[in-house]
Structure 1
């Protein structure tokens, strides 16, 4: 096993200010410092983008908290979710979730399209699976499901690709985020070796 196949080391940092308390991950001790810096810059950039999207600091009544979850940290793949919750008096709490999936050897940030063999209609393939799960799980949609976006939110968790939808994207707020785990074995004929293919073994 090479060093790159080991889990990467992660420390928790805090971004704070008036009505702001955000925890985020920082990668440390990678052999390639340039790759480490690239990954960390992308993470911090996404954290700041979430804060800006929530309207901070323009709205003086908004309080923000942030945290993260590591979904996969193995076999040269790091996949994580960043959460940002805003709260203002007389309104319900609003949460953003955005995920980043990296090749820790090169620093590459994967898009959903990158996971699939070139030329494959991955949007249709994934949409078909999600649509079936919606029917099987009797998920109450706000409108007819017409398929995923080409850049649909996703993360990798062990041996599954998880695509998900933001609050109120396909269901009412009360139902929260909607997650659709897809086994790598179900889509093994259309995925690239990196990063999903390596999760099969």
Structure 2
């Protein structure tokens, strides 16, 4: 009897132990499963992209638009990215409409403007804007503009953000493309294969697709070359862009009357300091409207008193954000004017703003008192001109540079001060607006302490 009781107790203990093991195993399974699921969700964190559809119909022009709209966890990044894409698409549409109005082209032009989501990861998204244009019966073209963004900050990622650790990446890409051109006998001018920060690229499986535009027989043609990652000496570096300090939206004003055709893209600064925003936005808007009013009065006076048969005057304003981090917002505004004649006229005005105070910086503000920054920058510009001539003899005698001014025009981009000159200032019209990047390493010993970190 006791023996049977002992067996029953023993079996009960075994059952309890087995049940405990099963419960523990299931608990661990649930816990492990939850962790795996959480890790998977965290690693692929999908960004939602929707679209807004619209159609623009005007004189001999029809544009169908699929505008992407992105949603992500970082709402500042989300707003900045959406503003950037929307501003660029709207600017393209307005300029296309202006071109049709000014050319008096009777052929119907149809444009389909859509997007592709080329690449997406937890921290990076690559959106490609595709423009398909059909004019007349047989003219058809496709153009791609690729935008890569850091979802942690909202900053745009340029090709040197990916490959900057490989000092020779520009030459490596150019060499690979030239080899591809030779092997496939592609009809393209290799001398015009230029790789720089602004190079248009798409992230594809195993590499980057480099997009180049060249003028062929009076028509712009687009060429695409896939460059595998193993071409580069170093691995593609992890993306580490800096947080934006202000959102920059656009107010667009268009005018098309008997005197003038105008598109004014006015930057609107939106930061955490509303008083600074108000003061800056007032100044930039006033500068732009003063430009428009001056051109308008000139056009009105001309058409009312001289020649009513002449084409309308053109007054356009566009802008680029060159730096938006480290307490510095650098915006380059381009004023474009055409009133007939051989050449149009354009001028760049930059607003280099210390967002801690709202102060618009002059070049001399960046340097310590009594520092000979003019001499140092002059020497670097001369060196760059000599390098240009050495690499291309066509530049010989083009630049008549003597010296920068104390408060020369400039903007800030990455860790560079970019010195530039107005049309005709140091070179003929064909040279455009000459720009010279002055790297932080050349001038850091002369910079004021408060701007030393900003330009690193």
Residue in 2 aligned with 1:147? 403
Q: Cα distance 1:140–1:26, how it changes in 2: closer, same or farther (>3 A)?
A: farther
Following the alignment from structure 2 to structure 1, what is the Cα–Cα distance between the partners of residues 374 and 314? 37
Residues 385 and 399 in structure 2, CA contact (< 8 A), matched pair in contact too: no
Following the alignment from structure 2 to structure 1, what is the Cα–Cα distance between the partners of residues 265 and 444? 35
Following the alignment from structure 2 to structure 1, what is the Cα–Cα distance between the partners of residues 244 and 451? 15
Which of 1 and 2 has higher RCO (CA within 8 Å, sep 6+)? 1
Residues 113 and 151 in structure 1, CA contact (< 8 A), matched pair in contact too: yes
Following the alignment from structure 1 to structure 2, what is the Cα–Cα distance between the partners of residues 23 and 82? 9
Following the alignment from structure 2 to structure 1, what is the Cα–Cα distance between the partners of residues 291 and 453? 31
What TM-score comes out, normalization by structure 2 length?
Answer: 0.40
Kindly provide the CA deviation profile for residues 116-174 of structure 1, in whole angstroms up to 9, marking residues without a partner as x.
11111222221121122112212455674220111211000011110001111111101
State whether structure 2 residue 286 is matched by structure 1 residue 45.
yes
Residue in 1 aligned with 2:335? 84
Considering fraction of residues, name the structure with more helix.
2
Gaps of 5+ in 2: 1-242, 301-311, 390-394
Residues 51 and 84 in structure 1, CA contact (< 8 A), matched pair in contact too: no
Which of 255, 261, 266 is residue 24 of structure 1 equivalent to? Answer: 266
Which of 424, 427, 445 is residue 189 of structure 1 equivalent to? Answer: 445
Which of 137, 144, 167 is residue 423 of structure 2 equivalent to? Answer: 167
Query: Which stretch of structure 1 is more off in the superposition, 9-18 or 160-169?
Result: 9-18
Residue in 2 aligned with 1:107? 358
> In terms of Rg, which structure is larger?
2
Alignment size in residue pairs: 194
Residues 100 and 155 in structure 1, CA contact (< 8 A), matched pair in contact too: yes
State whether structure 2 residue 334 is matched by structure 1 residue 98.
no
Q: Cα distance 1:71–1:96, how it changes in 2: closer, same or farther (>3 A)?
A: same
Query: Which stretch of structure 1 is more off in the superposition, 42-51 or 145-154?
Result: 42-51
State whether structure 2 residue 383 is matched by structure 1 residue 132.
yes
Following the alignment from structure 1 to structure 2, what is the Cα–Cα distance between the partners of residues 137 and 80? 27
Q: Cα distance 1:143–1:8, how it changes in 2: closer, same or farther (>3 A)?
A: closer
What TM-score comes out, normalization by structure 1 length?
Answer: 0.87
Q: Cα distance 1:196–1:81, how it changes in 2: closer, same or farther (>3 A)?
A: farther
